Amino acid sequence: MKSIVALGVVVTALWSGVAGAEKARDTPFIQEYHEPYPVSGVSEANDVRAIAVDSGGTVYTATRVGAYRLVGATWHQIPGVVEGECFDVLATEDAIWVAAWSGVYRVRNGAGERAGELTVPVSVLASGPEGVVAMGPDGAWTFNGETWKAMEADWSRNFKDLLALPNGDLWMGTWTGLYHQSDATGLRRYFEPEEITSGAVNGLAVAPNGQLWVGCWGGITVLENGACVRQITTADGLPYWDVRCMAFAPDGTLWAGTREGIGRYRDDEAWVTQNNGSKWSLRHSKRWLLDDEVRDIAFDADGTAWIATAKGVSAIKRKTMTLAEKAAHYQTILEQRHVRPPGFVEKCLFARPNDFSEWSPRDDDNDGEYTALYLMMEAFRYQVTRNPEAKANATRAFEAISFLHEVAGNTGFFARTVVPTSWTHKHDPNTTFTEEEVAARRVRDPRFRYVERRWRPTDDGKWLWKGDTSSDEVNGHFMGFYWFHELVADEAQKAQIADLITTLTDYIMENGYTFVDPETGRYTRWGVWSEEIFQENHDWWVESIINRFEVLAYLRIAYHVSGDEKYMRAHRRFIEKHGYGEYLRRPKAHRISEQSRIDDGMVYELGPILYQLETDPALRALLLEGLTWVYEFVEEDQSPYFNFSMALCGGAETRLEESMAFLRDQPLDLRQWVVDNSVREDITLVRRPMQDALQTSRMVPPSERGVMRWDKNPWEYISGDFAHPDGLLESSGVFWLMPYWLGRYMGVIEGP
């Protein structure tokens, strides 16, 4: 059996020659994650108006139906505080104070009592040098511990927030302006446009440098020594115009709650780098918040942000991790919930929101391809760590993909996927069409192939296997078998791979470079690599380009594992007779109406392999030109997969900083929450780089968009699983783990 130079040697030689090669240290970083704290059984209690944390870390809320205290993960209504509408909650050194419809209540030792004789509604509370300050529609008062003293109140009574400073100054946010009461200067109202962003003031916060930040309808005003020094609007990066509340975190980051999530602001280089060049980041969607309408924010000593929303309390917590620890986190999730017999790796579906105790696996048309990406990931991990678990996992995936050939008879054709016959739910089940429906489909798509029996039983009755197998599945098999052959397989397994690949390649060649489904006797919907069909049928124009590139890779891989010259003769015939060198130089359709991240993904599934194997300098130069050209379409995607794959082919750079930023910023939560960025005002919606969907004008960080694979468009303004908006569908995490272990294998990411 012939073989080209061992892959590890080739990679090392290529990588050592890259100009300006960098390595990233796996230094610890702060990983944020969300924990929801809804009140169970009392839906009105999730209408949270305000939140506070005492010095011991206990969390308190003011809600529509009373005041609550969090014990462990359970909310308890505070006895002694009036039931019904509560509007604000304040933590002082010796007590918790609740502003309610019937006055103010003081909570000590877990129980409340009325504070003094005040019996009118109170909107806002603050703690000043003279005691607690309370304001509402009937006036303003200070409490000395025993009695309330009325204040002269020549200001609006439509209170939204209140600050009492150590010097006794009061700042009052109302919907008719901002008021400042000072013993030294008296009362001043801020209302004019040059003084404040708008007269509807909702939130107040004092920055670490002493500046007062004022959140309004329309944006934020910054005051210093009583004078406006800055106004921040959506034109300055604020994600949403309607600021409802504000607080500064212990690390100095501003958190601005809005009707559409929390905008966070910091002006330092590391922060801006992590947020793709923006001083603002956004926490929105159910991935981060029980509801995007944010009413109040408080921080505990650990830096956890406790957030009052319209549908409960969310905690955005922080912990220090390394990428290696993050990889272990994803690996655990993957192995626990995402590997189904006989070894396929795909999504899973939870039975109930926020309950990880019960789930069911889900099949996909591309189970073989996605499992091959997992196999590739584990092959890299095995090469880096020599962990026998990684080798066992890669072997299990290899055997699962091989099983797709076995169930179809080992003739060269193979199944898309298999599921047990007991499954009642399957993606894309068998469907019977009328002649009229078939005609209508063919009018919309002349290449439509009607396959009534897509799912077929195995002879032993244990499995159903799915036909009409696509070209991207074929790509996945070649890719997975190749990497297993190079990085994991023993001699017996290499012989098995050679047999699988040559049988598959022969089948394609013998059927005129098409993939014929034995059920129908016709080539499948996407399984065509025939130059004759491409020439005769103009409806194959878009796919014909990438498919021509694919067939060159198939033949080159078949020759590599078998040494059979017939594959090289066929390869040269496509190059010399049909001019396929052009499809190395431009391997995909590229007009805006033709662009697809699916094609980009397929180019980089096979391109690095083809580049490793090609020994003809002229063809290799054409291929490098083509891969570099394709990379121009994806280089702004913040994709470590595309970045590292291009570097594997001798690309000029890895865009290592942004690759690391992606790997660090990607949330730990892999559920496919719907994330809608159309509400944001710091970006615009455009029709590029694809024409088929509205997309964001700049690439937002992964924590601000949905979980996705690299064959999807990361620029889409809305993403996620729309069928299960409560986060029931979970990704396997291979999209993160595979480029991470590729980076480790290439040596661009150092170990912990």
Q: Domains in the chain and their CATH numbers?
A: 34-153 (2.130.10.10)
Strands 170-174 and 177-182: antiparallel
Q: What is the mean pLDDT of residues 45-50?
A: 98
Query: Per the structure block, which two tokens stand in for 268?
Result: 């330092």
CB atoms within 10 A of CB 535: 11
What percentage of the chain reaches a pLDDT higher than 90? 89
* pLDDT exceeds 80 at position 15: no
* pLDDT exceeds 80 at position 672: yes
Q: How confident is the model at residue 290 (pLDDT cuts 50, 70, 90)?
A: very high
Alpha-carbon Rg for the chain, nearest whole angstrom, is: 31
Q: How confident is the model at residue 625 (pLDDT cuts 50, 70, 90)?
A: very high
Residue 138's φ and ψ, nearest 5 degrees, are -105, 5
Task: Identify which of 300, 327, 297 has the alpha carbon closest to the alpha carbon of residue 313.
Answer: 297
Q: Given this model, what pLDDT does residue 348 score?
A: 97
| Average pLDDT of every residue of the chain | 94
Q: How confident is the model at residue 653 (pLDDT cuts 50, 70, 90)?
A: low
What percentage of the chain reaches a pLDDT higher than 70? 97
Q: Given this model, what pLDDT does residue 14 score?
A: 34
Rounded CA-CA distance 203/217 in Å is 10
* pLDDT exceeds 50 at position 74: yes
C-beta pairs of 665-669 under 8 Å, 24+ apart in sequence: 665/274, 665/701, 665/702, 665/703, 666/702, 666/703, 666/736, 667/32, 667/33, 667/34, 667/287, 667/702, 667/703, 668/31, 668/33, 668/326, 668/329, 668/330, 669/33, 669/34, 669/287, 669/727
Specify which of 436-440, 511-515, 592-596, 691-695 reaches the highest per-range mean pLDDT: 511-515
Rounded CA-CA distance 715/724 in Å is 21
How many secondary structure helices (H) and strands (E) does the chain include? 17, 42
Q: What is the mean pLDDT of residues 672-699?
A: 92
Which residue has 């805006």 as its token pair? 592
CA distance between the termini of the chain: 39
Q: Given this model, what pLDDT does residue 24 score?
A: 92
SS3 state at 743: helix
Which residue has 């870390």 as its token pair? 57
Per residue, the 3-state secondary structure of 467-526, as one string, reads: CCCCHHHHHHHHHHHHHHHHHCCCHHHHHHHHHHHHHHHHHHHHCCCEEEECCCCEEEEE
Task: Identify which of 573, 582, 413 has the alpha carbon closest to the alpha carbon of residue 565.
Answer: 573
In tens, the pLDDT along 118-142 reads: 999 999 999 999 999 999 999 999 9
Q: Of 18-32, 68-82, 255-269, 284-298, where does mean pLDDT reach its minimum?
A: 18-32
Rounded CA-CA distance 595/692 in Å is 9
